[in-house]
Every structure is written in structure tokens, then in C-alpha cells.
Structure 1
Amino acid sequence: MPTIRVLYIDDEENNLNAFKAGFRRQYEIYTAISASEGLKILQNVALHVIIADQKMPQTTGVEFFKSIAKTHPDPVRILLTGYTDIEALADAINHGDIYRYITKPWNDLELHNSIKNAYDAYKAKIDLREKITELEKTNDELNRFIYSISHELRAPLVSAMGVINVVKMEGLYDSCGEYWSLIETCANKLDYYIQKTLQYYKNNKIASENTPVNFEKLIPELINLYSYTDKDTHFHVDIKQDREFYGDAFRIEVILGNLISNAIKYQKEDEKDKKVNIIIEVKNHAAEIIISDNGMGILNEHLEKIFTQFFKIKTNHGTGLGLFIVKEALNKINGKIAVSSDLSEGTAFKITIPDGK
């Protein structure tokens, strides 16, 4: 067991000698006959536990502990009191100025156990601080990693996708069989994974901030952003917003963007009339949104799993991240989502987002 360093402050020398005699073999003992002497020791020795008598001239034990709370927060503080001062004790305990108090004359076993418990509290405090430091370091490393993904990794990927577009413009796309198509598919999938990783990271990092949300402006922007992959899908949009709605614009875009993207992505390849319906009604306390499609649908046995990270139905579509991110984002803004699906008719998601006003 490591040596526990204990400082005892008391204006009665007999008490100091008695304490030293009783505990010198168990702890590394320091004694001081006044608060000012105790402070000098505290400034030069890394102490674990400080014991102070309450009734001392000039400075009481509680006053001393309060005076060192900010400058020396780590040592755990025990108060010895020979008289009842309930108000001072209650105030000291409530403000965290003392860990425990013991009445005088002390019982050796009680004081010994108190010192051991106080040291355990000291160690827990230090261990927690070290863990926080480690987490902060890990968080900084994660920030740098995400920056690398969003910039250094995506830059060459965008360049590769640019080359593919040049190949298309020059009419060489089909000149090598399916090779260019395979490269484009892999590049798009990698880009999609990068984008979803960034969405998930930002959703967990960014604090929620409510600002005005104009659905009549937002929905067309999201449709234009995601419909480039399939120009054959027709959108029917019905938005009723006659009042101001406040919400987390970033997360609302993430939620609606992923759902619109999925509605396009999971269309039936042989469907001649691909449709996506978006209905939004802004009410007094919430926005109710329904996004439905006539796509391939979802099996009933999969409906409870689709919001699970990396869950994929047996198709070549998706990554298993989109709906997981949607659920995570809704949790951040206290939103709700429900889904119904039929293999012959398609899928409908109903979202409720509370007004953040």
C-alpha cells in the first residue's frame, strides 16, 4: 500500500503529539499548530489527507478548508470538532469543504478508517482526472482523424470521380467493358461511407441549436441534392407551414436527407412510375412529416432492426448507416419515428419533431 501523507492542524500541542504517536507507523505524518503553519506545509508537500480542528484561534477549521478549496482542491479534508456547531458543519459539508467530521476526543479506529476512506476518495478523484485527460487526448486524436477523412482522404477520391466524369465526356466509359463502371461504383460507395461517417460524428459532437426552419425551402433543396442518382423518380410534395417552426436545422437536414435518399435508392428497378410522397404539417408544438415511396418495401421481420447500426437487408443497396443515423439524430432532438411497409406497396416513415421555441 502506498504511503499516505496526512497533515493534522491543531492549536493544542498535546493533541498533535497524541496523533503523531498513535498514527506515525501507519502514515507519513505532518503536524502544524496553526492554520498559517499548515498552509506552509501544504505548499511544500503533496498531501493526501488534511485533518483540522474546528475551534482554533484566528482561523477555524472550516474557514481554513474554504480558503484552500481552489488552490489545493485535491487533498481530502476531515474536520475534528469538540463541540456542536451544526450550522457551520452543515454549510461546510454542503459546499464540499469537508469530506467527513469526527468528534473529539477521537476514537483511534474511527479516525484510522476515516483516513483510509479519505485516501480512497483522493485516489478516485485523481484517477477520474487522469481518465478525463485520456478521454480529452483521445477526443483530440479523433478530431484529427475525422479531419483527415473529410479532407485528405476525400480529396483524392473526388479527383478519381472527376477522372471518371472526364472518361464519360470523352465517350470512353464503355471502352473497357465494365471496368469503369466498377471503379465508379466503388468510388461512390466509398464517398457515401465517408459522408455517413461525418454525419454520425457531427451528430454526436455538435450541440443542439434551434433556429427557424422553412420546410418549403428545405425540401426542394434536399430533393435536388439527392435525386441526381435517379432522375426517373417523381416527387409529390405537400407542405402546410403557416407558422414559424424552430428546430435543429443540421439534424433535421440529416434526418430528411437520409430518408429522401433511401426512398430513391430503394425503388424497384422495373418500376415504371417511381414515386416519393413528402407530406409535412407544422402544428402548434411539432412538425409531423410522412415520407413514403412505392419501392421494394421491407419485410415485417426486419422492421425492428432497420435502425440498428450496419443492419442491411439482403440487397446491394445501402450501408446500414443511414437509418441508424436518422434514429440517433432524432434522439438528440427528442423526435419520434415510426415505419410501416408492404413489399407490394412500399414504405412509409412518419416523423414527429417537437417545436424548439
Structure 2
Amino acid sequence: MNLSNRNSVRVLYIDDEQNNLITFKAAFRREFEIYTALSANEGIKILQEIPVHVIIADQRMPNCTGVEFFRSVVEKYPDPVRILITGYTDAEALIDAINNGHVYRYIAKPWNEMELRNAIYNAFDVFQTKKQLQQNIEDLQKANDELNRFIYSLSHDLRSPLMSILGVIKLANLEQSVNDPNGYMGIIEQSVNKLDGFILKVIEYYQNSRAEALPESISFKCLINDMLESFKPQNTQIIYDTEIQQGADFKGDSFRISVILNNLISNAVKYQRTEERDPRINIKVKVNSAKALISISDNGIGILHEHLDQIFKLFFRAKNTKRTGTGIGLYIVKEALNKIGGDIAVHSKLGEGTQFDITIPNMVVVEEPVLCG
């Protein structure tokens, strides 16, 4: 404890015997700011006026025991740390004090000055720690609220003008109303799409880190077919081979599984070789009662061997391609799998292609058979 804080420790001592109060004050008045009360009612009046750090109460008082007093004030005055003075070693009473009165510790009568002094110091340390924790929670809540506002801004305030720009570009291209021999409109469209893609990845990352894993029934055939429909119009030259064997009901986090598959398929599309005459993406799914095994492979540019243990790190970008990504996608894949208890492995040969193997546990609850005796 900071020595400069010692004299600022405010201690309330409640005891129905005046001599005990006098002795206590004489022993500790030079070290602490002492307040004393002969009854529970007097103690409550002091609490109403003075923000004390430590409350000490005698267990055996005529109208109200120490435990009963602590229980009566804990809701309205939760911050002070409570110490019980007792001449009895009744285990049941002590357990009751700790559970219902939120008592930090008890001191046996007659109390030892050194023991009680140390108890007060330690109680004040606990008080400060609790207050710091409360402040940290408030700061965290504030930061969380600010992050929520930032993500809202990303998804609405920033994306809206980007979509407007893309709309104007597409309209100009359709009407051929802009003379653009140098292809500047195409460059602008590409840049806007890249920025929008980055924003979507940030939103994806945020949602993955916050959303609760909710098991839903999943048909991988429907999920993957719907997903591929969104890729095919922009990538007509790529052949998509799918082999889906779902021989059991599967429940999982539909949102995160969609994020995982979408990112991996997107990467397979993005990093195809331009010179490849037969660009292919193979998707295989095998589902049983325990898990789903998913393989996504391509015949694209591949990944450098020395990059394989780095590709799941945040903002990592491969150096063997001019097609730079956001450096977020595979990180989100790994984090999403961690959230749902899944796993991923990667195999790649430079110039030949890459394969990702994913394992996702089935969240279907299997009923144990009831055995008759």
C-alpha cells in the first residue's frame, strides 16, 4: 500500500461497549481516520455522511449482531470492506457472515493490535483494488461503446458514399457517356472495391469477436451452392467442382462457418494464375455425427513455404504476388475456427496451388441411451 495513503484510510468501528471504542481509537487514531459508533443505527448515520473505506463491527451486540448489520448495509454501501470482531468460533455464524454479509475476514477477541492493524491495511488494499477494477470496467465499457459507434460508422457512413461512387461508375459505363481512353474509371472502380472489401473485412472481424456461437441446422449443399452463385458472375472462367457428403444432421454456427468458407473461396478465386487455361476450385465436404471435414483446393499461384506458418497472422501479406489482399481474411478464418472449436491445416506448392483442410465439430446433441436395470 502507498504509505502516503495511510492517514487517508477512513475506518468505522461499531461496538456496544464504550471502553472498546476508546481503546480502538487510542490505538489507531495516529494512523487512520477513525469513526466510532455504539450501535448499528449510529453506524448507519455515519455511513450516510462519511465515505468510509473499512467497516469493523463486533458480532455480539444487543439489538443487532455484526453479521446482521453488514447484511443490512451491503446493498446500499457495497464499497467498504468489512471485518468482523468475534469472541466466538461458531463456524456456522462465520460462514453466514462471509456469505451474507460479504465479510472480508474476522478477527478473534480479544484482538491483537498488530493483527488488526495489518487487517485494516490489507482491507484498504482490497478496497483500492475493487475501485480500480470498477474504473477499468467503466473504461472498458466506454471503449466498447466507442467501438460500436466506429463499426456503425464503417458500415453506414463510409460504405454509403463508396456505393454511390460505384453506382455512378457503372451507370457511366453502361451509357458510355465518359470518354476514358486511359481506363481511369476502371482504376477508380477497382480502388473503391478494394476499400469496400477492407471495410467489410473489418466488420467481419468485429462481428466474429463479439457474436455468441449459436448452433443452427446447416445444409452444406445449400450453403456452398448459394455462396458459389455470388462468385460465378465475376469469375466465369473458373470451374467449381463440389463433392458434398452429408450423411448426418449437422448443427453449427452458421455465421462463422459462412465467414470461413467465404474467405477461403475468395482467396482461391483471387490467387488463381492468370496463365492457367483450366482454373479450378475443388470443394469437398464430408459430414458425420461428430464433425464436418471440409477441403478447399485450387490450382492457383500457391504459397511460399516460408510463409505457411505466417499466413494466419493479422495483416500478413504474401510477397510472391502483385494481388495484395487486406491481410485480415485468413486471420478471421483462424479466429472464427477458434471460436467454434475447429481447426485448419494448409498444404501448398508454389506455382501449383493450395489446399486448406478444415475440421468443424458437430454441435448436435447426441442423446445417451437409457439403460434399464
Classify the TM-score, shorter chain: over 0.9
**Matching residue within 62, 65, 72 for 1:60:** 65
Map of 2:17 onto structure 1: 12
* 1:30 to 2:35 alignment: yes
The equivalent of 1:181 in structure 2 is: 186
Match of 2:220 in 1: 215
Question: Residue 355 of structure 1: which of 352, 362, 366 is its match?
Answer: 362
Deviations 1:211-263 (A, max 9, x none): 11111111011112233332211101111113221111110110000001011
Q: How does 1:317-336 map to 2 (within 5 A)?
A: 317=323, 318-336=325-343
Normalised to the residue count of structure 1, the TM-score between the two structures is 0.96
The amino acid that maps onto 2:71 is: K
Q: Which residue of 2 aligns with 1:254?
A: 259
Q: Deviations over 1:166-194 (max 9, x none)?
A: 12212367723031122112111101100
CA RMSD in angstroms comes to: 1.5
The answer on whether the counterparts of 2:68 and 2:101 sit within 8 Å (CA) in structure 1 is no
Which of 118, 126, 131 aligns to 2:123? It is: 118
Using the alignment, how far apart are the partners of 2:177 and 2:305 within structure 1?
44
Correspondences of 1:1-357 after superposition (within 5 Å): 1-2=4-5, 3-93=8-98, 97-171=102-176, 175-314=180-319, 315-317=321-323, 318-357=325-364
Runs of 4+ with deviation above 4 angstroms: none
- Contact 2:82–2:104 under 8 Å retained in 1: yes
Deviation at 1:102, TM superposition (A): 1.2
Amino acid at match of 2:341: N
- Paired-residue identity, %: 54
Q: How many residues align?
A: 357
TM-score of the superposition, structure 2-length normalised? 0.92
User: 1:227 touches 1:264 (CA, 8 Å); kept in 2?
Assistant: no
CA contact (8 A) 1:227 1:261 kept: no
Which consecutive residues of structure 2, in runs of 5 or more, have no partner in the other structure?
Answer: 365-373
Structure 1 residue matching 2:72: 3-state secondary structure = helix
Shift of 1:27: 1.4
Residue range with higher mean Cα deviation, 178-187 or 225-234 = 225-234
Conservation of the 8 A alpha-carbon contact between 2:70 and 2:101: no
Q: Tell me the distance in 1 between the aligned counterparts of 2:208 and 2:233.
A: 25
Q: Is the 8 A contact 2:67 2:101 kept in 1?
A: no
